[in-house]
Structure 1
């Protein structure tokens, strides 16, 4: 695995991470509500650490080769996206309304973040479809497990950098603007609901 391969993966991965979705909605909501963005992002990264561990263990290949298992995981993740999107639409993050909700348990923030990224269909797509394309199986290269771990760590680093930036910017720019915060979170909720519903339709019809 050479530097060109790593840079190509990094560029594509950054593009995927920068596409708003469930992870973005979660860090934006926590930033607007004044909660710990660091703990929320740590939870999200932990979910992708689990993906990386499973991929290194070879389970990602097993899932990719099992249509039934892949469909079940995708449907579960899509259902969770629909639930999250509906929850955000029903109760969008508004700084003034959530002033008493800033002291959420740190363990709860972490666990929910790990659940969101662990079931995120975009994460499944990355680890099952995108990442394997950058693995080199011929010639004098590190073992596939090592390459997978390196790419997984790069993805986790990208997630940490982008989501921390998004969370901190949302706190700085939206915390004093309730209407803008409501509009942004509702847009994120609608996007999650739409993506989840589309995935469910594709895999259940």
Structure 2
């Protein structure tokens, strides 16, 4: 395991994107548990991209403009759905200790869909992982799986930190109805912006 891979993977994971925005929103709106569950869901979403790289499906996305466009627009549409759901969720960013926690499966499903329906990570893995796999190596698949596992571990640690940090300041930030409305609008705008960026990329 090279230091270069660890540093490169850490930079990629730390850089804000759809997964980070979703994890922050989950931590702020529903607390620490939701932030950690969202981090787990975003980490789980790495698996399909890793498998796509190993099996060649990611290469298909790269070579077929139709396949890439289908996945891209599905992802953009889902981000718009997330924006709509955030806007209509009146309990988001509202501190209510007595309220029921958000179902873990629902949080995980949303996190996985947000990342799976984004073709960029799959293409990133195609360009990124092979750089750290010796050409002609007989154990290339095993090495790519190990590198993918390390990438997933880094993803969970970093995203969990985002989620826990957001939850830690939740009680302090969400005491004003005006502020909670503003935060809901901000994250709605973030999801819309990410959707547009994905659609026009």
TM over 0.5: yes
Paired residues of 2:53 and 2:125 also in contact (CA < 8 A): yes
Could you say if the C-alpha distance between residues 169 and 53 of structure 1 is closer, same or farther in structure 2, counting changes exceeding 3 Å? Answer: same
Task: Please give the root-mean-square deviation of Cα atoms over the aligned residues, in Å.
Answer: 2.8
Gap regions ≥5 residues in structure 1: none
| Structure 1 SS opposite 2:6 | helix
For the pair 1:157 / 2:129, whether they are aligned, the reply is: no
Instruction: Say if 1:130 and 1:187 are closer, same or farther in 2 by CA, change over 3 A.
Output: farther
Aligned equivalent of 2:43, options 45, 48, 70: 45
Q: Look up the match of 1:195.
A: 194
Q: Is the 8 A contact 1:22 1:188 kept in 2?
A: no
Q: Which residue of 2 aligns with 1:66?
A: 64
- Using the alignment, how far apart are the partners of 2:108 and 2:21 within structure 1? 15
- Once the two structures are superposed, residues 46-99 of structure 1 have per-residue CA deviations (whole angstroms, 9 ceiling, x without a partner) of 111222223223322333232321222222222222332344355483133x65
**Aligned partners of 1:175 and 1:181 also within 8 Å:** no
Whether the 8 Å contact between 2:79 and 2:195 is mirrored in structure 1 is: yes
1:22 and 2:21 matched = no
Q: Provide Cα deviations, 1:175-199, integer angstroms capped at 9, x if missing partner.
A: 3311566655644442332232133
Cα deviation, residue 168, structure 1: 0.6
Q: Give the equivalent residue in structure 1 for 2:79.
A: 81
2:4 corresponds to which residue? 8
Count of matched residue positions in the alignment of Structure 1 and Structure 2: 195
Contact preservation (8 Å) 1:74, 1:199: yes
* CA–CA separation in structure 1 for the residues paired with 2:187 and 2:128: 24
Can you list the C-alpha shifts for 1:136-168, whole angstroms capped at 9, x where unaligned?
324xx4533223212221221111001111111
Aligned residues of 1:21 and 1:188 also touching (Cα < 8 A):
no
TM-score by length of 1: 0.78
Give the Cα–Cα distance (whole angstroms) in 2 for the partners of residues 30 and 195 of structure 1: 17
- Kindly provide the CA deviation profile for residues 32-58 of structure 1, in whole angstroms up to 9, marking residues without a partner as x: 212433322222221112222232233
Distance 2:112 2:40 in 1: 8
CA distance in 2, matches of 1:181, 1:151: 40
